[in-house]
Amino acid sequence: MANGKTHMALGALIGTSNYIIQNKINNQEITFGEIFLTALTSAGIGLIADIIDPPTSPNHRSIGHSLLLNSIILPKIWNFIEDNNNLNFKQKKFYQSLIAAHGSHLALDSTTPRRLPLLV
């Protein structure tokens, strides 16, 4: 079963990779500061599901790990960010990378024997 360090590491990897790939595809320059900020923030976001549902037992998964809720809300947030004219391209890709980092937590937990709850 994945622990906090694993969730942080994968969150940082997935979030930062998404940010780099999206910027490179669109010929955007990337600074070390952007990569560092994305990695650091994505690592923290990789823990959000366990902050919402603290891992006090193997059955700790509830609303923060909800398969149905996350599969509805995360794409809506992604699209809201994409369609938001108040954000520039890099801001959009940064926030979408955080969603990808959160998704990495759910992906890891879905492979455990307890898997993810449908709702709560």
Per-residue pLDDT tens, the chain, 120 aa: give them.
789 999 999 999 999 999 999 999 999 999 999 999 999 999 999 999 999 999 888 778 999 999 999 999 999 999 999 999 999 999 999 999 999 999 999 999 999 888 899 988
Into how many domains does the chain fold? 1
The answer as to whether 50 is a domain residue is yes
Report d(CA 30, CA 22) in Å as an integer.
11
- The whole-model pTM stands at 0.93
Domain that includes residue 86, residue range: 4-109
- Which of 76, 119, 97 minimizes the C-alpha distance to 21? 97
Report d(CA 47, CA 49) in Å as an integer.
6
The answer as to whether 120 is a domain residue is no
The answer as to whether 72 is a domain residue is yes
Q: Could you tell me if 89 and 26 are in contact, meaning their C-beta atoms sit under 8 angstroms apart?
A: yes
The answer as to whether 118 is a domain residue is no
Res 13: pLDDT: 98
Q: Token match 């996350």: residue?
A: 70
The answer as to whether 114 is a domain residue is no
The answer as to whether 117 is a domain residue is no
Res 46: pLDDT: 97
